[in-house]
Chains A and B, each alone.
Chain A
Amino acid sequence: MSDAVIKVDGLWFAYKDNEYVLQDINIQFDDRPTAIVGQNGAGKTTFVKVLKGLLKPSKGDVWISGTNTKETTVAQLSKIIGLVFQNPSDQMFKSKVIDEVMFGPQNIWKDKKDKNFVYEQSIKALKIVELDNKLEEHPYDLTLSERKLLCLASVIAMDPKIVILDEPTIAQDRFSTKKIAGIIEELVKDGKVVLTITHDMDFVAENFERTVIFYQGQVLDDGPTEKVLSNEENVATAHLELPNLVRLAKALDFKTTPLTIDDFVEEFSTYKKAGD
């Protein structure tokens, strides 16, 4: 575990008066890919917006790579922390895929002398999401899955150290979900800190080392995924579900918590009757 890239200290946040949507959050994020889970209204999206600087803490501080979010602008922060919003239609407005991806980089690197730099960054990002063959297409001609990947590319192109994904697998089929998992793996290999908000427990189990459960504006649990998502009591309190394999393992009285099929197969083989 390396140094904290994101440090949250005594964070309280209220949209109005004293109705605190986030209460006394103390948490740090390092390079481990982390999933943030919880039911709708638990405060996950608000939390992530505070990290992004879109909302300033009512009380407490948030440091992103050593910079306090209260002392800088959202535009400045977007160079180090990127957020892929849930709904592509909430941000797409250009008529070509390449233009859409270049929008972010153009904003944060408007002082760069090298005009090609922005273009090259964008192409690199599009290659990662495998949309580099559709540069000239109109974003609305892409399928829903492709549009989500386009938004992901728009953020990756800005080369932030931290990438946050808001519900990346909603309305996606298995094929697209696998693709996104692959991209996450690549980003992590590239040294990026990847956080995600999601309801897909299986997706969390397969791809995220650490899980944080939000419940009613507070952190209910935080730790290695196999520990957090096998705690039935916490999972039930937060109105979530166990990942399917974990549920199966518990029904079979497993000693460990398998997060992937490989884990499960390995554990199960120790139980097989002699002679099988």
Chain B
Amino acid sequence: MKVLSLYVERDTFIHKLEPVTKLLYALVSIVITFLFPSITVGAVFVVISLFLAISAKVFKRMILLLNVVLIILLSIVIIQGLFYSKNATPVFKLWGLTFYKEGLLYSLLLIVRVVDMIISFGVLILTTRPSDLVDDLVQKGLSPRFGYVLASVLQIIPQMLSTTSTITDAQRSRGLETEGNLLQRFSAFFALLGPLVLNSLVEARERAMAIEIRGFGVEGKRTFVREIPETKADRWIKVALYVVFTVAVVWRIVLWIM
């Protein structure tokens, strides 16, 4: 793959939103679900995030993403169901092990938080071009240098990885065994890592020169070739998010005091 990106090109309302708006949603939903030890709150956000995923027409990819963490979710259920410190009420037995209600409920809370985190960030990542997200952040004040690092890493890493096969070929050509016992694999590691690191450094240096020549270090006003407009919808959503966030925080503090 040429780019380390999950971006899926579609023409939906969500896709047209400003990247920062989507980022804001993800952050707000995560903070709120963590703020409240309530499965209901978590579930509400999961439903909202899922709804966003569906309207962005990236539902299928989202399921694929979730599959990746399925094992983690399952292990949460098992560990908390069996060993949660506040376990008291047994619910069922499986293979001689007792699962308790308190643990299972707690695991549900954790799961709902993790799932929301993945779906809300997933909506951002699946509907936003990486370079657009970086451009948007830079426009809002992120250091352009840092922005460049973020944007380039997604393409440079796959490039770097493709040179590993050339390096492996070159060393295997000199009789290097890449399979075999632990000692063999260990010495193979250095033969492969050395050139990779050195090559990457040399190329990084050349690239640094090339971008310097194209004004990378210049201070002052910057412009952007891609239009990332803040629409009315963006503004309304952001206002809504700020309001929801503030209300949630206040409410949480009130609950805590009571």
Residues of A whose CB lies within 8 Å of any CB of B are 49, 52, 54, 74-75, 78-79, 82-83, 85, 87, 89-94, 103-104, 107-108, 140, 154-155, 158
Contacts and interface: CB of A to CB of B under 8 A. Distances in A.
A107 B170 CA distance: 13
Given A90-B195, A91-B170, 5 more contacts: A54-B169, A75-B176, A78-B172, A82-B173, A90-B170
B173 A83 contact: yes
Contacts of A158: 174-175
Contacts of A103: 174, 191
Interface string B201-223: 01000000000000000000000
B166 interface: yes
Contacts of A108: 175
B175 A89 contact: no
Given A89-B198, A90-B167, A154 B174 contact: yes
Contacts of A94: 194
Contacts of A82: 173
A6 B175 CA distance: 20
A89 B202 contact: yes
The main secondary structure of chain B at its interface with chain A is helix
A93 B195 contact: yes
B199 interface: yes
A93 B191 contact: yes
B171 interface: yes
Contacts of A85: 166, 169-170, 173
12 contacts: A49-B169, A54-B169, A75-B172, A85-B166, A89-B198, A91-B167, A91-B171, A91-B174, A91-B195, A93-B195, A107-B175, A108-B175
Contacts of A107: 174-177
A93 B170 contact: no
A184 B143 CA distance: 54
- Interface size class on chain B is 20 to 34
A108 B166 CA distance: 20
A83 B175 CA distance: 11
A83 B169 CA distance: 10
A92 B175 contact: no
Contact of B172 (A74, A89, A92, A155): A74
Given A90-B163, A91-B167, A78 B195 contact: no
Nearest to B179: A73
Nearest to B198: A89
Given A89-B202, A90-B163, A93-B190, A74 B173 contact: yes
Contacts of B166: 85, 87, 90
B17 to A, nearest CB: 37
Given A90-B195, A92-B195, A78 B175 contact: yes
Nearest to B190: A93
Given A49-B169, A54-B169, A85-B166, A93 B174 contact: no
B191 to A, nearest CB: 6
A54 B175 contact: no
Contacts of B199: 89-90
Contact of B173 (A78, A89, A93): A78
Interface string B168-197: 011111111100000000000011011100
10 closest Cβ pairs, A-B complex: A93-B194, A107-B175, A104-B174, A91-B170, A108-B175, A75-B175, A85-B170, A74-B172, A78-B175, A89-B199
B181 to A, nearest CB: 13
A274 B3 CA distance: 69
A75 B171 CA distance: 10
Contacts of A54: 169, 172-173
Nearest to A54: B169
